[in-house]
Structure 1
Amino acid sequence: MTTAGVRATARIEAVADGRGGTALPVLDGEGPLALRRIRGSGAEARVMLVGAMSGPLGGDRLAVEARVGPGARLRVGSAAATIALPGQAKGEARYDVRLDIADGGELHWLPEQLISAGGSELSVSSCVDLRGTARLVLREEQVLGRVGEEPGRLTSRLTVRHDGRALLDQELSCGPGAPGGWDGPAVLAGHRALGQLVVVRPEFGEKVPAARPLGEYAALTPLAGPAVLVTALAPDALRLRRVLDEALDELT
């Protein structure tokens, strides 16, 4: 750690082990990004991301990279919520997630919530590349401020590509200094928890679920490919998770 903040990258590589399971030849964490393999199920390997330090703090540059090979199945979660906090170092913190899933691979990316604490500045970028019959379940949940606290500044971008073609590319900025209207009726409408679920399945290329509302502040939208997007708003993290879990049960 320096006055410029922490620089750390965690790397995961999952490959088919030739015996019907999934091996993890690369499982390498740094600094605040510790990785632990936990008991899997069937062919699936499971990894838990454990925060070894507070953060991300101002000036930090953190990244997580995961690669899933043909025939491998990987599920990644986190042990607790990630809390963006102001730090001694000035400037914005960055948290980059890069996911690569080969033809025939499957990834479930299901971290806990990201909480934007008051006074923090964080830019999150998630980029996913899939090929062929790759499968994906990706959940993002963001909570603006802790209880009784105004949020920090949070900018989040999610890009999903299939065989080089963009399925989704969207960005949202919230909190102090964000473009006007982020908390208005056309965007968050006063809610403090927002989330999305991206599900990519080869069978959606033949028959994709129809667009429809999922309650008052959630909706399912088919994407231009074998994928659907669920977006949701809620007053708190618990109710947001309930909406996304119900949608995931229905889709998978």
Structure 2
Amino acid sequence: MAMVPRLFPAPSLLSDARPAVRQLLQRRWTSRKGGGSSRRYMARQLRDPFVKRAAAEQYRARSSFKLAELADRYPLIPDGGCVVDCGAAPGGWSQVVARRMGAGTRLVAVDLLEMQPVPGADFVQGDFLDPGVRARVLQAIGAQPVGLVLSDMAPALSGHRSVDSARAMALCEDVVDFAADVLAPAGCLVLKFFMGEGDAKLRHRLRAMFRAVRVEKPAASRRESAECYLVCLGRAA
């Protein structure tokens, strides 16, 4: 999951937040250019019910509830085999999987950024697109059949819509290529994408690979964001 450099929030913005919420926001504080936009961002976070829930339920990020909602709706998390979480940092999705997976399930998380350990997860730090890192992920998977591939990744944004759209679609295609290589028959894929140019072609490709493909926008996904999730069920044999 792409992130930009962090700063700690001004104490005055945190003074009215509950301690658990303050702790979560300090970990997830993201800098924005200009003090005004930073303060507006922080004020929005303090009002966000999913930020409060994440703190109360000891999740590292509000994005945990995106996967949790999808996993409640669809039979995604296998009882056995392996789950691969691409772009895992800070670990919110891995936490959801770790809490729900069966005792015999292996969870492999990969991200360019450092991630604090998630109990039950094997973490590979490095660029998912690098062949050497991909080889380490495959080594961590071992002989376990992969029942689920997750990707909440997004590219670093340039501010140019056409460039950002192309980068996001290329990243999605890389994840689909990986899923095509590792997913066991009947396995599932959950993939973040951005509505726009190229997404119809991506959905067409996925419908040829899976028995069912659904487009979902979980409640924790901000309404103003173009992000959606492709939930791909039942890898065709």
> Comparing both structures, which one devotes a greater share of its residues to helix?
2
- With normalisation by structure 1, the TM-score equals 0.28
- The higher relative CO (CA closer than 8 Å, separation ≥ 6) is in 2
